[in-house]
Every structure is written in structure tokens, then in C-alpha cells.
Chains A and B, each alone.
Chain A
């Protein structure tokens, strides 16, 4: 193991856990976070579904009967949007607070910072996988499940990369600036309305502009595959996956670049 400072160049850490050990650490941290989140609560895991269900009921009433949107199959459209938006929000917020929450561990044990952030992201992936199973069952029971549903794994994987990458980036920001949490809350509010989560856009110029956002592209693909039985152009899928992977690579690179200094900043 070589720890080098400002004068020397390069750094290798041979003594860090090997690859299977790293996966075990991520798994252990993810399962622990998941269990602690719902531990001691009366409804346990059901709390995680209550939020999207309440939002679904409220937005459905408002957009169906007050604003009167005419999107075909609006309820499943809204359900897909809210389930995956909630995941993006949870994953990025878990990433944001992950390092500060484990400050003691990071100062006392040589656990790579990136594994702690990955563990926090992975715990929200457990949630979204369970919620996806519930959503698929609900769509099937309601006769709205598309025959292309198995393909939803592609945009779901892209969304996980996107949310984890954003989570890594905001985790670095939060380690440096404590007001990053407040700023991120405001940005999430703006992001919610700038992404077609609860509304539908079909006019080409606006649709194009909104779909510069990789999150909007993931939601659209998830809806096409889960509900609308629509096979999109391959290019749309490739651009979506590539843009999410690019965000993940950016977040990971940022975290790796800063991880040696983070324990002393916390």
C-alpha cells in the first residue's frame, strides 16, 4: 500500500479490500441502510410505497378532474412517472447524506469512500426493485402491462446509473459545502416540474427540449416498455443509456478524485 502526498506522484492502495470484498462491503452497507430505514416503524417497508401512492392519488385527482389532462391511460402513465421519480429523488438524497452519515466510520476504518456512497445508492435500488415488482403486478391486474415489459430492464438500469452518478456528485458537494443539501432540495423541486413526471408533452419542439434530460428519456422509455407497448428507435435507447452512463462516469470520477480528502473534511 502506498500513500503519497503532494510531493510524490501517484497512489496505489494494495491493502484495500479485493474486488469480492468490495462487493461484500457495498452489499452489507446497502442491506444495513435498508433495514435501518424502516426499523421500528409500524408499517415497515410499506412506508416507502405510501409516498408514491399518496402522490399518485393527489396528482391523479388534480390532473384528471381539475386540470383535466387527456393523456390516454393517464393513471399508469402517472404511476410509472412517480415510482421512478421517487427512486431518483431517494437515491440522490441518500448519496448526498451518505458520507456525512458515516463520518465516524470513514475516520476510523480504511473503508473507501466510494463504497460507502455506492452502498447508500444500492439500498435505494432494493426499494425500486420491490416497487417495480408491485407496479408490474398492478399493471398486469389492471390489464395495462405491455408485452414489451421485460425490456424495461434497460431503461431501469440506465436510471440506476444516472441516479447513482448524481448521488456520487452531490455527495462530494455535500462533503465540501453543508448547504449543498438545501440547494439540492431546491434543484429537485425544479427538476420535478422540468421533467415529464406528472404531465405529458407531445408537441415536437418542447418534447425534444425536455428529452435533453436523461431522466426524462428514462421515464419515457419505461412508459413505452411497461405501458404503451411501443418499441422505440434503437438510437433513442442508445443515446439514453450512453447519457446515463456518462453521468455515472462523471459522478464516479469526481468521487474517486476527491475521496482521499473526504474523511478529513467530514
Chain B
């Protein structure tokens, strides 16, 4: 379902700001360094598996998730993803605060690949699940950050993509929201769909994941059962 082979991702970090045409035409005296966010990463994820990614900040988890989602291209190596993915990253990015909640359901849903007619048919249910049915015609900017995240999560899960890529999404929102997200992810997993989950929450990884990969400085340090990998992560 997901096959990652010797994937590296290199970012060029200029020491000076280099965003103008002049700087590109006359780069003399300007220095930069290359930074490998990922280095020779290889692993597989089978259909129906729930795999956790953990590692310290800057270890390459989010970059890896973005590559799996097709947002970033790997600098080297190959990534094969056999089915459609629904990424849950930066929940709510893509919403337009000036439009109504209802309009945002259509905008965000369509960007996630959900057909408009399916959104129209399930509008009441989406608003209900996100707990925002009272605010359907209010401007989205009137909603709290937590409510926006709930709406975004509800839509991402509804996209029915066979693969869900989740990046720290459950860190936002209250306890009830986190619990409902967890229940949703468990339902998702029990239906045989695939989940790749980035989290620092060890209890969450233990509860949901069949396997956990530990990343350190862009390299895979361990790949195995959640409990053992949590122990490895703590020992690094």
C-alpha cells in the first residue's frame, strides 16, 4: 500500500535571505548549507495497518508525511502509494474565515477530493458531527480554533480515502474532541483502512498503532511494536 525506498529529502538553507531575482542572478558572496530532513528512509506499510511515527522535533516526521501525501517531492529515492490519501495536517488551513461555515464545508471538502453532491447530501450530518450545526450560516472566523479543527477533522475522515495521514492533529481541541477523534480513527482502522500517525502521545500510539517507526535526525532508528519503540525513543 505504501512503499518507501531509500528516500532522502534535502533542503537548501541560504545563510542570507535570497528571495529576489537579483540574488539569483548575482549569488556571489552568498553562502548556503544543505540540510537532510530525511536520509535513506525505507519502510513499508501494508493495507489496513496503523503505523505511528515518533521522534524529536526536527527529526523529519512531518516532512515524511508531506512526501507520502505527495505535497513534497523526495530529493532521492522512491515512494509508492497505491491508493488515495487524506492528509490531516495543520487542521483548518484551507478554510476561508470570511465565508460561512456552510461554504467552507464545500470548499475544504472539495479540496480534499469529496464530490460536491456528496457534501450537499451529507451537509447536516457533517455539521452535526463537528458540533457546528447552529453556526452553519455564521462566518467561519466566528468559530473557535477547536471548532474549526473539529470541522476539518470531520471532513478529512469523510473523504473516505483509503489512507489517512495524521500529523499531531489530535493535539488541538478539548478532551471530548480528542476522544471523538480517537474513536473516529479506531473506526477508520477497524474498517481495514490504513493510518500513518505522527504523534508524541505515547499512550495514543500504544492504543492505535500496530507498529511504530522512530526517527532521529532524518533516519529510521527503529521499527517495531509500539511499546518497544517508545522505550527506544526514550533511550535516545
Where the two chains meet, the residues of A that have a C-beta atom closer than 8 Å to any C-beta of B are 1-8, 11, 13-17, 20-21, 24-25, 28-29, 32, 35-36, 39-40, 104-111, 176-180, 183, 260-261, 263-264
The answer to the question of B83 belonging to the interface, with a C-beta cut-off of 8 Å to chain A, is: yes
B15 to chain A, nearest CB (A): 18
- Chain B 84-107: CB-based contact to A (< 8 A → 1; otherwise 0): 110101100110101100010011
The answer to the question of B207 belonging to the interface, with a C-beta cut-off of 8 Å to chain A, is: no
Cβ–Cβ < 8 Å partners of A3 in chain B: 67, 70, 73-74, 78-81
- Complex: how many Å from CA A28 to CA B161? 20
Interface residues of B in 1-43 (CB under 8 A from A): 6-8, 11, 19-22, 24
- Complex: how many Å from CA A107 to CA B75? 17
- Contact check, B77 vs A110: say whether CB atoms are below 8 A apart: no
Q: Which of B70, B98, B115 is close to A40, meaning CB atoms less than 8 Å apart? A: B98
- Chain B 51-86: CB-based contact to A (< 8 A → 1; otherwise 0): 000000000000000110111111111111111110
- Contact check, A8 vs B77: say whether CB atoms are below 8 A apart: yes
Q: Which of B22, B107, B116 is close to A32, meaning CB atoms less than 8 Å apart? A: B107
Where the two chains meet, the residues of B that have a C-beta atom closer than 8 Å to any C-beta of A are 6-8, 11, 19-22, 24, 66-67, 69-85, 87, 89-90, 93-94, 96, 98-99, 103, 106-107, 110-113, 115-116, 161
- Complex: how many Å from CA A110 to CA B90? 13
Cβ–Cβ < 8 Å partners of B87 in chain A: 108-110
- Complex: how many Å from CA A45 to CA B85? 38
Q: Give the secondary structure class of B's interface.
A: mixed
- Contact check, A263 vs B96: say whether CB atoms are below 8 A apart: no
- Contact check, B99 vs A105: say whether CB atoms are below 8 A apart: no
CB-nearest residue of chain B relative to A104?
A: B93
Could you list 19 further interchain pairs (A-B, Cβ under 8 angstroms) beyond the known A1-B70, A3-B67, A36-B99? Answer: A1-B80, A1-B83, A3-B79, A5-B7, A5-B75, A5-B77, A6-B75, A16-B70, A36-B96, A39-B98, A106-B71, A107-B90, A109-B94, A176-B24, A177-B20, A179-B21, A260-B73, A263-B71, A264-B11
- Complex: how many Å from CA A40 to CA B71? 33
- Contact check, B99 vs A2: say whether CB atoms are below 8 A apart: no
- Contact check, A110 vs B83: say whether CB atoms are below 8 A apart: no
- Contact check, B89 vs A108: say whether CB atoms are below 8 A apart: yes
Cβ–Cβ < 8 Å partners of B98 in chain A: 36, 39-40
Cβ–Cβ < 8 Å partners of B113 in chain A: 17, 21
- Complex: how many Å from CA A179 to CA B25? 13
20 CB contacts below 8 A, A to B, read A1-B82, A1-B84, A3-B73, A4-B74, A5-B76, A7-B78, A11-B73, A16-B70, A28-B110, A32-B96, A35-B99, A40-B98, A104-B94, A108-B93, A109-B111, A110-B71, A177-B20, A178-B20, A261-B73, A263-B66
- Contact check, A110 vs B85: say whether CB atoms are below 8 A apart: yes
Cβ–Cβ < 8 Å partners of B67 in chain A: 3
The residue among B69, B87, B111 with the most chain A CB atoms within 10 A of its own CB is: B111
- Contact check, A21 vs B115: say whether CB atoms are below 8 A apart: yes
CB-nearest residue of chain A relative to B67?
A: A3
Cβ–Cβ < 8 Å partners of B89 in chain A: 108
Q: Which of A15, A39, A177 is close to B70, meaning CB atoms less than 8 Å apart? A: A15
Given A15-B81, A179-B20, A7:B76 Cβ within 8 A: yes
Given A4-B79, A105-B94, A15:B85 Cβ within 8 A: yes
